[in-house]
A and B are shown apart, each in its own frame.
Chain A
């Protein structure tokens, strides 16, 4: 029983997000960075670039390449993960790169690459969404020109109920998981994956809920970026 009296195992209502904390510009070397805590997730994202894409033969003469890399630290999961990319990380890196590229004005920087590094330091379900959300903040922090700041969130089906922001338990025992990433201003879908079993109506409900969640998180992203520059208020 994952839902009892309208409450989930961790006490949340079906449409409630886990607590989220976002900090922009936390690293010294990176051009842009973001540290994000989302439930039990701890993510560090950093951006380098645009910088010269090398070797030269990979350069695109018309635009910047966007290269996101999602990686989990060995100690971030209950059973130690062997270091290095596995198939899951490679797939997540790919869909993340594609999601981020759609909002970046890549034509402004031909022949370059924008490198985004997402490290999961502590994992608790929803790491790919947390990664994209952190990457969006890091990109803005780095001064990468974008149409919007990308944000991501997942919805799912648990005990027949559509819920927002699944925990590990809900992800494992539930009936469906739908992570999405959007450009919050226009609600354009940048990333969408699904596994499980949902009727069309359930999907519509889950999508609406996930978009609502994304928009709430987008507010937190903007707050974090503005906060970085607020500490010197005078007069």
Chain B
């Protein structure tokens, strides 16, 4: 997340974080591979076909799943479709302004989408109603409520958890009984940021404020890579990227357990 320079970081804060980084310490005392406490609540929105509220530290996001009937894409006439949208409403941060989605919101949505799509999490081939005519379209809408760092992982986790308990609203369209949305195994996303040559997982807001580079990787249940995204204007070395993935493979297992509870 790019935060406007003015009014953000004071030289004192920058120096303090840099000093801590040299000692491999983080401003909130966490270890480099430690996540903040994660809380997942499912089925929190009645009107949605599936929903989940995820808290990572103070970051709070809400994902809602809506299903509608629509036309399939011409090159996949017997498959349903999915689309992901992220809203960054003004209430989540003093820096968020109302208006059309910013490049940050769009990048967030597309990265979350990629993780889910490339994991074949939603069984799109089971969402056909009438080949070439009618299929189910799955809308994944993520509403950020409180931004305190690491929206990539919070949004991905909320989307996965919301899809886990989603239903196909057959009854609303007189197509029979409601059924659970057919899903496979969810992706788990891990995000790192780099500042002063220190690479840490699950950045808090302060760390994002001085981050030079960001890296997100979505892994499946076997630890295979399904999606990746490098962000911000700094760079990673090849070894750093490889190392990040290895670190993610370990941490993702723990998060996957939370999803399976």
Contact of B68 among A48, A79, A84, A85 (CB under 8 A): A79
- Chain B contact surface mostly: mixed
Residues of A within 8 A of B68 (CB): 79-80
Q: What is the CA–CA distance of A191 and B128 in the complex, to the nearest angstrom?
A: 48
Contact of A71 among B85, B89, B148, B172 (CB under 8 A): B89
Scan A109-138; emit 1 where CB is below 8 A from any B CB, else 0: 000000101110111100000000000000
In the complex, identify which listed stretch (A24-32, A56-64, A194-202, A209-217) lies at the interface while the others stay far away: A24-32
Which chain A residues in 18-48 approach chain B with CB under 8 Å? 27-30, 33, 40, 42, 44-46, 48
Which chain A residues in 55-81 approach chain B with CB under 8 Å? 69, 71, 73-80
Contacting pair B91 A27 (CB below 8 A): yes
Residues of B within 8 A of A79 (CB): 68
Tell me if B64 is interfacial: C-beta within 8 Å of chain A.
Answer: yes
Contact of A30 among B62, B85, B91 (CB under 8 A): B91
Contacting pair B141 A75 (CB below 8 A): yes
The number of residues on chain A lying at the interface, defined by a beta carbon within 8 Å of a beta carbon of chain B, is 33
- Chain A contact surface mostly: mixed
The number of residues on chain B lying at the interface, defined by a beta carbon within 8 Å of a beta carbon of chain A, is 32
Closest residue of chain B to A82 (Cβ to Cβ) is B85
Closest residue of chain A to B53 (Cβ to Cβ) is A121
Contacting pair A119 B58 (CB below 8 A): no
Contacting pair B139 A119 (CB below 8 A): no
Q: What is the CA–CA distance of A84 and B46 in the complex, to the nearest angstrom?
A: 21
Contacting pair A74 B64 (CB below 8 A): yes
Residues of A within 8 A of B87 (CB): 73-74, 83
Q: Could you list which residues of chain A lie within 8 angstroms of chain B, going by C-beta atoms?
A: 27-30, 33, 40, 42, 44-46, 48, 51, 69, 71, 73-80, 83-85, 115, 117-119, 121-124
Q: Could you list which residues of chain B lie within 8 angstroms of chain A, going by C-beta atoms?
A: 44-48, 51, 58, 60, 62, 64-66, 68, 85, 87, 89-94, 98, 100-101, 139, 141, 143, 145-148, 172
